Amino acid sequence: MVDPEKDDVVIRRRAGDTGMGFVLGTLPAPEQFTLRTRNEAIVHALTFAERHRVGAWLVNGADKFVLLGTFRTETVKSVS
């Protein structure tokens, strides 16, 4: 099972005073803001992830993470 890494952005569905919404936050920081629709949250998460070179995740159900995209750059070491 693959889980988000530190600083990855995560989308969670939450009920609030104004109804259902989707909250964005980075791990391990608390949630940072709420968006009305899932599509809006996905667009913001992917934009943030690309800009900061991290992964974007959606929580699907009880803490089951779905990777939406990753923009991390891996360092490749050559073997001589």
Residue-wise pLDDT tens digits, 13-60: 887 677 788 998 888 888 888 899 999 999 999 999 999 999 999 998
Confidence category of residue 68, pLDDT binned at 50, 70, 90: very high
What integer pLDDT is reported at residue 33 of this predicted model? 85
Six-digit token string for 23: 């909250």
More confident residue, 18 or 8: 8
61 φ/ψ sector (left φ>0, alpha ψ -120 to 50, else beta): left
Residue 65 β-bridge partners = 59
pTM of the predicted model as reported, rounded to 2 decimal places: 0.80
SS3 of residue 25 by DSSP: strand
- Compute the distance between CA of residue 60 and CA of residue 3 in angstroms, rounded to an integer: 12
Following CA atoms 36, 32, 44, 67 in sequence, which dihedral angle do they give, to the nearest 10 degrees? -100
